[in-house]
Structure formats: structure tokens, C-alpha cells
Structure 1
Amino acid sequence: MAKDFIVAIELGSSKMTGIAGRKNPDGSITVLAVASEDSTSYIRKGVVYNIDKTAQGLSNIISKLKNTLQSDITQVYVGIGGQSIRSVKNVIIKDLPLDAIVSQDMVNELMDTNRNMTYPDYEIQDAITEEYKVDSQYQNDPVGIQAIRLEGNFLNILWRRSFYRSLNKSFDNAGIAIAETYLAPVVMGEYVLTEAEKRAGCVLVDLGAETTTVSVYYRDKLRNIAVIPLGNNNITKDLESLQMDEVEAEAMKLKYSSAYTEIQDIDPNMVWSIDGSRSVSSRKFIEVVEARMLEIIENVRNLIPSEYMDKLLGGIVLTGGGSNMRNIDKAFRKAINIEKVRIAKSVDLNINVKDSKPALANNGTMNTILSLLAKGDMNCAGNAFNDSLFDEEQLAATTQTAATAAQIAAEKAKAEEEERLRKEKEAEEEERKRKEKEAEEERLAAEKKEKSVMHRIFGSLKQFGRSLVEPEPGSND
């Protein structure tokens, strides 16, 4: 029975995964328990769309982990991703008095102003400071520099408010307290990419079941993150058009698919057996798989900002389940024209498993959950289970722990909901004032136009009247 451990949960589109592990003094991590649940019926493209089923899945994950650990769990770290997140660049500028020296308070003011930005339907989940511009020079730390203008360049990572509410509701219904919510692709970048790759510039591509996440790094900073609503499952669906059901298409994909095949290696007469009585043309199969993979890769290329395209000396790093497809690295080289492509099968950590169980896949599918485990730093262990069925004191303690955890989660959710409502109210008030201002400006413009028209009319009438009473030129009367 472990007395201290960290628990993390990843909400994936194909499966939900929970993991428990312990950090060791030498920097390694010992994995104590792993549990997973099929999530295809309640998580779509990384987003919760059925709260009740998600809550049940979470409860099942926690129950499995508890049984292995023989201990209660007080809180968990949660990794989010999928189609609910995107990034937006933001620049905040502050003009300074003559001969002013940049202080930490000035820098904090820029950061606070950025954090208070509002976006329709979205909230800022994380704000990354890319660099500061002091007058005309870029600096990582501007404090102490004399300047008349200070500019902060930020990358705001947003997530949909509706997803945030659904996520919290699912955990509340399951009675699970959230220690911290992390952006899964950002955390994975910390433990999958090398320092050299991030410094030189690279693209981390997580090829998932229903989404593909693209993260661009340059000079040690995340510069852009975006999610493509396409993944491995789309290839399976495409193969179903070749007269296969879903199970057959998935099996054929795993057995035969290749992201890239040289034309001279394709035998137009070769067929592959589906079930013994049916077969499919290998050429047609290859065309279907490669067409979808090319679409995904071209979308990845389009999401790399043009200013970094020729600076990515660290190359492309592929991970996730889709990175296991044959010739995936060759397909990316051909389509994006970047020679350096690495497939990250594991995280850059020393991972060991207690008593060699559970077995951890070394194919890129565990990279996110292991990164979340490494990121956590608070003990998630509750009271150890007692073998006695009649230990009322132990039962009461366990119940109290669960109740406290649920209460903390409820209070946190309430505070976050109040903050969300406050921001929405402020945004609505600003929108109302804006509309009132526009209406007032339109009214004044209309009045001005009306006065101008009347002025011209009166001017014309006055001129006409004058022409009636004044004698014509050359008249003697």
C-alpha cells in the first residue's frame, strides 16, 4: 500500500485513462496503477458531451485505481485537450514617462491586463509570455531598463466555457476533487520535446483518434497551438466505404495501412483478404489511407505560422497512436518538406513499474498521461484500506475524506462559476454601452444630416424669394 502518490486522468476521445505513480528522490517515477475506460460514447473530439456517462466513466477509473492501490484517492490532476482549445496572440502596450525605468509592477500590470481579456464563448486557461519589447528591442526580462514604451507579447490559450462547465459537472457528479487542470498538449511538450528542439524551433504533432494537435515552438517558447478535427478514426471510417464494417476496417488499418507508399511498390493486381470470403484491392486500400493522411498532414502544414516555417531547425516530432502507422515520418517529410522528423515513443523521463505491473505501452499512446503524472506535485493519497469489514473508524475516516474532497470540489466549482458569471456580466455591460454609444452616434449623425438638408432647403427658398423681389440685371424698373 502506497502512502503517497499522484493521480492523473486524461480524457481522450477513444479512451479515458487514469494513472497513479510516485516520484522518487533520483528523479524517476514509479507507476503504481493504470486504468482505462472506453470513452467513445461520451467524449467526442476531446470534449465531454454526455455528463452522466462521463461521470460514470470517471467513477470506474477511480474505483479501479483504488482497488490496485488499496488506498483512497483525495484528488486528481486532469489533462484536457481536443477541439475546445485554441491559441490567440495578444499585444499589450504601455507608454511610460520620460526617463522611466521598467519596474516589476509595470510588467505585472501588462500581465494582469492581458489576463483580463475577454473572448466570446471562451476563457483564458493559460497565458504564455513570449517576450517583451522595450522601445525597439525585444527582451525576456525588461525590468531595470530605461524606456518610454513597454510592449508585452502574449499567447493566450483559450478553452470553451461550455466544455469547462461540462467537465466540472462530470467530476462533481462523480465526487472527485480536481487538484489542477492542465492543458495536455502543453504539458506533454515539456516531457516529450528536448531542450534543443524547443530552442531551435520544432512542431509537436499529436496524432490522436479524433483530433490532431499541432504545437509550434521557437526559442524555448510555445508560439502557436491548434487542433484539427481529424484523426485516426477518420481513416477507419473511410475504409468502411470499401465494403467493410467498423471492426474489419480497424483491423485492416492496423495490419496493412501505410502513410506513404512509393508508386513502384504498388502491385495493381494484389488483393488483401478481409474475412476469408471477401477481399479488397491493395491499390484502392492504399489510395484511401494516403488520401486521408495527406489531408491531415496538409492541415498540419497550414497551421504552422509562416514566420516560423523556415526556422524550424528542430524539425517535426510525432507522437500519439497515429504515429505508429508505417512510413508516417516519410509522409510528413514529403508533404511539409522538412527533413528532420522524429517519432516520440516515450517521454524523456526514467519510468519504472512496480513489480513489472501494469505493462506500459511504448508506442506514444502513454506520453500524455505520463507527462500529467510528472507534472503533478501534490499528494493525492487518502487513507489506506483496512482488510477488516468491521473497522467503523476506518470507514468513517474514508467517508469523511470523500465528503471533504467533494466539498472542496463543489466550492472550487462555485467560485469559478461566480467568476465566469462576473466576466460574462462585464462583457454584456461593455457590449450594451458599445451599442448605446453606436446608437447615440447614429442619432447625432442623423440629426446633423437632417439639419444639413433643412439648411439647404431654407437656403434655396431664401434665394428664390430674393429673386422674386430683386430686379433683373439691365431692367430700368
Structure 2
Amino acid sequence: MAEFIVAIELGSTKISGIAGKKNLDGSITVLAVVEEDSTSCIRKGVVYNVDKTVQCLSNIMQKLKNILKTNINHVYVGVGGQSILSVKNVITKELPADTIVSQDMINELMDSNRSMPYTDQEILDSATQEYKVDAQYQLDPVGIQSNHLEGNFLNILWAKSFYRNLNKCFDQAGIAIAEMYLAPLAMADSVLTEAEKRAGCVLVDLGSGTTTVSVYYKNILRHLAVIPLGGDNITKDIASFQMEETVAEQMKLKYASAYTPNNEIDNTLMLPIDQDRKIESRKFIDIVEGRVEEIIENAWFQVPNEYADKLLGGIILTGAGSNMKNIDIAFRNHTHIDKIRIAKFVTQTINTTSEEINRHNSDMNTLLGLLAKGDMNCAGPEITNDLFSAGDPVAPAAGNPDPHTTPRPFSEVAGSGVVRTEAEKLKAEEELRKKKEAEEEAARIEQEKREAEEEARRKENSFWHKLFKKAKDFGDQMLKEEE
């Protein structure tokens, strides 16, 4: 039976699918890469047309099956796009004197945090920042004596409508999900070094529709935000010179620079739009640099002040926008951070014949990061034309068993970038409801037992009960004397 991993990324310009297998030496061999145009169904990284997205996903799956000659049981999926943001939350628990903190207490804090309600927002993941044990901060408080326990969490939220639309697309396309990951975190694990995460760094993913900012310090995600600005905004600004966006995109790729020194600008130079029209080079430079500056300022604004002076790992740029000429200089000028690196490729060793991957131009970093996260075989039965073969070339993926037959505890996936699917979430909520009902029933029975015991004690201590008992004892004594 074939063995491979399949990952799907839903981007603003294209939906990409990739299949590959992990080798014993830690490298990854890519077996297939396919894509579908998503401009008519995905905007700013989120689904806005469910039907067209379902069709694109079905096409992606069919293309992969045709190349692999194998059915696909389930896939890994990346979640990203507009409206993703992080919010800090604190959960406290008062403990009896000299209580030893246990793992169950930590899990209870984590469960309480993940159950926090947010209006119109869904908690995708929760990264533990630290715990406060009395007056001391600890990363692992288990085993420490404490009277007051406090958990500090970073909750990553997404609009509920976006979350439901994404799940609906895969359900309607009949695609089972092996695991859903936060795309920015999956990519960060593949492009950042441990030293950068530990020392403090900012990862800026310059996409076509959005720019994603992730802040790390001491190996912990400290902030995550997605701003609705990207390379498409630069293209639209160029198109304002009365040209089609396809022409504007070509001009951006050919002439745009994020920074051009004033003494290098030729005021007489004209850039051709088409055979009949041209645009002044200075005007072109001004409009490109103006939008780039806006994107950089908005990205840098996302960095919390408490970490702005602790970025020893610097700024790491990735995504299609990081290919723009002098983008590192532009970031250096506006942020005054000297240490800037452009992550052109993932840290894993990738074996492939795909020209798109071998360009090493940051475009495939998120997709490869999702592929690297996979650890379950996604291959189904081999596709064959033999009518008597067990393999079914048209069997829908939805008919395959869900890899997560039981809901995983929050503590098992917290801070790892794993996003629960809607089915998993509903299943977990149902189990939590049943557990709560069982606890309430047990508490009710215990309360009734205590009340019965209390009633019995009251009866024993009542005046009439004592009088009746004395009378009974006196009668028993008289009978004994008569005998």
C-alpha cells in the first residue's frame, strides 16, 4: 500500500495541494503539486463563496489522485486569513493552604480558558504564556506548593462565520480532515530557527491579500495578527493609472522596488504601460513605496511594546511579497531593526522536481510547512481499472473513517497550532456536557445524602424525639424489673 501525506492550503490567489513522503533521514520527497485559481471564491485568505471553493477543492483532490494513482483518505489543512487575532486571557484558581499544584489543576485552567465565550469569534488555539504561582512566574508549576494559581494564555481567535464556512467546504467536498493547523504557526515551525524563537523575533508573511505578523520570545508565541493589506493592494494602486490589474501585476513584478534612493531616481525615465502609453518612473516609485510603507507600519504596529526591544532574533520576512527588490532595506528604514532575514525556503531538506518549489522564492513555504506537520498516512486504496479490484477510483473520501475517533483533550494540542474541526468541537462539547451532567447528578445525590443524614441528626436531637426515647427506655426498664 502506498504511503504519503497530503496537505492543502487555501490562499487568496490559489488553492494549492501537495503530496509527499517523509524519508528516514528527515528529508521530504514531494510527489505531486497542484493548484487551482481561487480569486473567485477566496478573499483575504477566507472563503466567501462556498460552492466555488467546494469545486476547487474537488478539482485539487482529483488532480492529486490522477498523479498519485491512489485514493486519498484524508488531508492536512491550513487555516489563515483575515480576522485572525490573538487575545490575552488570565484564569485564576484559589487553592486551600499549602496545596501542591497537580497536572489536573493545570488542565482545569486550560479547559476553563478554552471555554471562554467570545462574541462572534471562535477560539482556534490557545498558547500558554506562563503560570503565576503565588507571586512567582513559572513555565511548569506542577509539584510546587501554592495558595493561588494563575494561568496566562494567548487565545487565537477567528470569526465564527469564516470557521464554519471552511468546515462546510470540506464537508460538502467529501474530504476528511486528518488535522487542521493554523497556517502561520505551521510555517513558522519550518522557516524559523530555534535560536530566533528563543531570542525573540517577528515573522512577517507578506501575502497577496493579507500580511501575517507572528511574534516569538523565549520559544513561545506572544502575539499573532493578520492585517488586510498585501501585494494585491500595491497592484491595485498601480492599476489606478488606468490599466488592467493583470498589466499592473506584470509592471509590479518587473519594475517595483520597496526602496529606491532619491539620487538613483531618473526623473526623465518613462516606464511602458502598453504600446501607446507610459508612466513616469518617479510616480511609479512613489505609489509603490507609499503602499509598502503603509504595510510595514501596520505590521510593525502589531508588535507589542513589551517585546519591541527584545527582538535579538530580528525580523524574518517570507511570503510572495518578500521577493520585492529592497524589501529588507525598506523594513530596516521604518522599524530601525538592523537584523533582517528573508526566509526564501523552509529549513527541511526537500527533494522535488517541481520548478515552482525549486525556485525558492517563499511562495511554497506555508504549503511545505503543512506537509512537514503531517504524520499520518493519507493514502487510500490504489486506483485501478480492474473491476474486481478492491480499490474504488470514485469512492468519496468522506466515506473513510475520521482519524480522531474521540475528541482530544485541550491540554493535548494546546499551543501546537492544531485547530479542531467543527465535528471534533461538537463531539468534545457533547462529551463535556455529559461529563458536567454526570458531575451535577453525583453532586445532587451527595447533597441529598447529606440532607438525609442532617435530617436524621435533627430528629435525634429534637425535644419530642428525646422524650419519646426516654419514655421507651423507661418502659423497657420497667419490663425488665417485672421479669
* 1:380 aligned residue (349, 373, 378): 378
Amino acid at match of 1:12: G
Deviations 1:7-40 (A, max 9, x none): 0000000111000000111111000000011100
Identity of aligned residues (%): 62
**1:303-322 matched pairs, under 5 angstroms:** 303-322=302-321
C-alpha separation in 2, matches of 1:140 and 1:63: 46
Deviations 1:157-196 (A, max 9, x none): 1122111211111112211111111000011111110011
Question: Is contact 2:18–2:33 with CA below 8 Å preserved after alignment?
Answer: yes
Question: Is contact 1:177–1:409 with CA below 8 Å preserved after alignment?
Answer: no
How many angstroms does 1:247 deviate by? Answer: 1.4
C-alpha separation in 1, matches of 2:372 and 2:386: 37
Amino acid at match of 1:365: D
C-alpha separation in 2, matches of 1:373 and 1:381: 14
How many angstroms does 1:394 deviate by? Answer: 3.5
**Structure 2 match to 1:154:** 153
* 1:362 aligned residue (360, 363, 367): 360
C-alpha separation in 2, matches of 1:97 and 1:392: 68
C-alpha separation in 1, matches of 2:220 and 2:331: 23
C-alpha separation in 2, matches of 1:103 and 1:417: 28
Question: Is contact 1:30–1:352 with CA below 8 Å preserved after alignment?
Answer: yes
**Structure 1 match to 2:173:** 174
Structure 1 pair 322–357 and aligned structure 2 pair: CA distance change class (3 A): closer
Amino acid at match of 1:288: I
How many angstroms does 1:416 deviate by? Answer: 3.9
Aligned: 1:402 with 2:418: no
C-alpha separation in 2, matches of 1:189 and 1:17: 18
TM-score after normalising by structure 1: 0.84
**Structure 1 match to 2:53:** 54
Structure 1 pair 255–394 and aligned structure 2 pair: CA distance change class (3 A): same
C-alpha separation in 2, matches of 1:289 and 1:24: 44
How many angstroms does 1:393 deviate by? Answer: 3.2
Structure 1 pair 315–408 and aligned structure 2 pair: CA distance change class (3 A): closer
The DSSP-based 3-state class of the residue aligned with 2:163 is helix
C-alpha separation in 1, matches of 2:10 and 2:188: 17
The DSSP-based 3-state class of the residue aligned with 1:97 is strand
Structure 1 pair 300–407 and aligned structure 2 pair: CA distance change class (3 A): closer
The DSSP-based 3-state class of the residue aligned with 2:88 is strand
**Structure 2 match to 1:28:** 27
The DSSP-based 3-state class of the residue aligned with 1:261 is coil
Structure 1 stretch displaced more, 51-60 or 264-273: 264-273
Deviations 1:256-278 (A, max 9, x none): 00001111111111111122321
The DSSP-based 3-state class of the residue aligned with 1:118 is coil
Question: Is contact 2:69–2:383 with CA below 8 Å preserved after alignment?
Answer: yes
**Structure 2 match to 1:350:** 349
How many angstroms does 1:418 deviate by? Answer: 7.0
Amino acid at match of 1:213: T
C-alpha separation in 1, matches of 2:110 and 2:244: 53
Structure 1 stretch displaced more, 96-105 or 368-377: 96-105
The DSSP-based 3-state class of the residue aligned with 2:31 is strand
Structure 1 pair 150–316 and aligned structure 2 pair: CA distance change class (3 A): same
C-alpha separation in 2, matches of 1:172 and 1:107: 34
**1:68-79 matched pairs, under 5 angstroms:** 68-79=67-78
Aligned: 1:338 with 2:334: no
> Would you say how many aligned residue pairs link Structure 1 and Structure 2?
418
Structure 1 pair 357–288 and aligned structure 2 pair: CA distance change class (3 A): closer
C-alpha separation in 1, matches of 2:18 and 2:351: 13
Deviations 1:75-100 (A, max 9, x none): 00000100142111111111222222
The DSSP-based 3-state class of the residue aligned with 1:148 is strand
Question: Is contact 2:177–2:402 with CA below 8 Å preserved after alignment?
Answer: no
Amino acid at match of 1:183: L
TM-score after normalising by structure 2: 0.83
Question: Is contact 2:171–2:398 with CA below 8 Å preserved after alignment?
Answer: no
Aligned: 1:391 with 2:413: no
Amino acid at match of 2:172: N
Aligned: 1:236 with 2:242: no
Deviations 1:277-302 (A, max 9, x none): 21110000000000000000000111
Structure 1 pair 347–407 and aligned structure 2 pair: CA distance change class (3 A): closer
**Structure 2 match to 1:255:** 254
The DSSP-based 3-state class of the residue aligned with 1:26 is coil
Q: Point out where structure 2 has 5 or more consecutive residues left out of the alignment.
A: 407-420, 433-483
**1:42-441 matched pairs, under 5 angstroms:** 42-353=41-352, 356-357=353-354, 359-360=356-357, 361-386=359-384, 389-394=385-390, 397-399=392-394, 402=397, 404-405=399-400, 413-414=422-423, 416=425
Structure 1 pair 296–369 and aligned structure 2 pair: CA distance change class (3 A): same
C-alpha separation in 2, matches of 1:400 and 1:81: 29
C-alpha separation in 2, matches of 1:172 and 1:310: 45
